[in-house]
Amino acid sequence: MTQSIIYVDADACPVKEEAVRVADRHGVTIYFVANARMRLPVGLDVRQVTVSDGFDAADDWIAERAGGDDIVVTEDTPLAERCLKAGAQVIRSNGKPFTLDNIGMSMAMRELSRDLRDMGEISGAGPSFTKKDRSKFLEALELAMRRAK
């Protein structure tokens, strides 16, 4: 059995410290993948991957490697879909999982939101990130690690 790895789509991830805490507790490697170098939390096996500025370069790097018992942390729905199809577990930073059962609806909502933004019907981002979201993420990542083992 191969050891699980956590992959984090790191560019705008608000739960880096929490992800490292869980990775350290379970003794797994965690990769933070982004288009630029960034300051990361210190951990037992924290690795930073800086990819090119190419469109979806970070997503491609993660999707080409994630699968099996791995866990991916992302807000990116197309990346989530690719990783789910490869067998990985995928969690949003607010703790909500992407699953094979909900990814179709997530993709449809992404397209609808994009169309509404293009028409000027909606603007800005979603609700702000809260302490409750952070707590839910910690719980969800811990449960995902237990399932992976």
Q: Does residue 120 form part of some domain? A: no
Angle at 146 between CA 105 and CA 84, to 5 degrees: 30
Q: Does residue 104 form part of some domain? A: no
pTM: 0.87
Q: Does residue 40 form part of some domain? A: yes
Confidence of residue 2 (pLDDT cuts 50, 70, 90): low
Beta carbons of 122 and 113 less than 8 angstroms apart: yes
Q: Does residue 112 form part of some domain? A: no
Q: Does residue 114 form part of some domain? A: no
Q: Does residue 10 form part of some domain? A: yes
34-85 pLDDT, tens digit per residue, is: 999 999 999 999 999 999 888 899 999 999 999 999 999 999 999 999 999 9
Rounded to 5 degrees, what are φ and ψ at 126? -80, -160
Mean pLDDT of the chain: 89
78-137 pLDDT, tens digit per residue, is: 999 999 999 999 999 999 999 988 876 765 665 655 656 667 766 666 678 899 999 999
CATH number of the structural domain spanning residue 140: 3.40.50
Facing residues of 34 across strands? 50
| Separation CA 90–CA 62 (nearest Å) | 12
| Separation CA 15–CA 140 (nearest Å) | 12
User: Which of 8, 12, 13, 11 shows the shortest CA–CA distance to 23?
Assistant: 8
Count of domains forming the chain:
1
Residue 84 vs residue 12, higher pLDDT: 84
Q: Which domain range does residue 57 map to? A: 5-99+128-148
Q: Does residue 9 form part of some domain? A: yes
Q: Does residue 110 form part of some domain? A: no
